[in-house]
Amino acid sequence: MKNVLKTVSFKPGERNVFFHILTACNLSCSHCYINPDQHGTKTLSKDQIEDWLTLFAVPKKKSNVIFLGGEPTMHPDLSYAIRKAKELGYFVTVDSNGYLFHDLLNKTSPNYLDFLSFSLDGPDSEVNDPIRGEGVFDICVANIKRAVQSGYNVSVIYTVSSKNINQLEKMVPLLKKLDVKKFFIQVIGLRGVSRKSADKEKIQVSREQWLKVVPKAAEMAAESGIHVTYPKVFLERGEQFECAGNVAENFFIFPNGRVYQCPLCEDHPIHSYQIVDNRLEKTDGLTEDQFFQLKIEEGCVMNKLLQPDTIEYDEQGKAVYQISCCLLKQEIGRN
């Protein structure tokens, strides 16, 4: 068998519903993207969760729902939400910081929850805990082991920043030891807490750093039998730029009823939709989808507007490369 690398194109008819059922969290991660001023501090009721899941469920279309927070396992009705989502035909994932409140492993099962994803930002406590909090690494790893032993499909999310990019390769033996099925590598964005701290420290990584470290680490993980997904980030010459907001169905739902199509926009009141009385209504005024129509040489318009330091220019002021849509992914696995 050999590793197969492919760019995952936006799939017609597939819906991805990123459902923040609350914004509360027991941690204060240094790169948290939750912005209470924009996302609110509300916890959705059991009935609201069911109503909103039903609102976004479309028969005959594959729909993925990812339960998020804050920390979604802090919601006492998460296990009910998981069962209801499965009944509605969703492929169901929960993204957790690893604490697994409300006895989640025993209150649901792998029959309802397709993937349980844990956030780890380092191969040990020395790297992870300064980012996510003291003692978090040990708790998260212990609960990954419990989840695997209970028969759950487990994935791990690693958010790459200047604080941990050089330790990414060290994640591979840990993931292999833990029997993790999938590894999601994310690039840090200037959102929420990260945006506020960007002036104090350079947390984003350069194109040179990303291309030197991430593809190699992904290959190593794939060699170990782990399926890896990571953002394309930088387009090669000749590759065509596409915005997921124009060609895909991605919905980022927050408890205050805001629904975005682009995660880069979530710090701003330019959401495309609002849930009103359990109806999805188009938002008036200047909204994110109007920006999606613009064509610029730098590629992603929202990246140019919100985090322009990721772009390099030559002496003539022309962009050296294009930034891809942040939702365009690469996958690498064994074949």
- pLDDT at position 34: 79
The pTM (predicted TM-score) of the whole model is 0.93
Domain assignment of residue 108, yes or no = yes
Phi, psi of 173 (to 5 degrees): -65, -30
Domain assignment of residue 236, yes or no = yes
Identify whether the C-beta of residue 68 lies closer than 8 Å to the C-beta of residue 117. Answer: no
Bridge partner list, 229? 184, 331
Please tell me the total count of domains within the chain: 1
Q: Which residue is it, tokens 């926009």?
A: 265
Q: Which domain holds residue 36?
A: 3-240+324-334
Percentage of the chain surpassing pLDDT 90?
71
- pLDDT at position 92: 97
- pLDDT at position 3: 61
279-282 and 273-276 strand pairing: antiparallel
Domain assignment of residue 202, yes or no = yes
CATH at 48: 3.20.20.70
The enclosing H or E element of 53 equals: helix 46-56
Residues 7-46 have pLDDT tens digits of 555 666 678 999 999 999 999 888 877 788 889 889 999 9
Domain assignment of residue 255, yes or no = no
Residues 239-298 have pLDDT tens digits of 889 999 998 899 999 999 999 999 999 999 999 999 999 999 999 999 999 999 999 999
Domain assignment of residue 264, yes or no = no
d(CA 228, CA 192) in angstroms, rounded, equals 26
Domain assignment of residue 269, yes or no = no
Q: Which residue is it, tokens 């590759």?
A: 239
Domain assignment of residue 193, yes or no = yes
- Written as one letter, the residue type at 122 is G
- pLDDT at position 238: 81
Percentage of the chain surpassing pLDDT 70?
92
Environment class of 280 (CB within 10 Å of its CB; exposed 0-12, middle 13-18, buried 19+): middle
Average pLDDT, the chain: 90
Domain assignment of residue 296, yes or no = no
Identify whether the C-beta of residue 16 lies closer than 8 Å to the C-beta of residue 66. Answer: yes
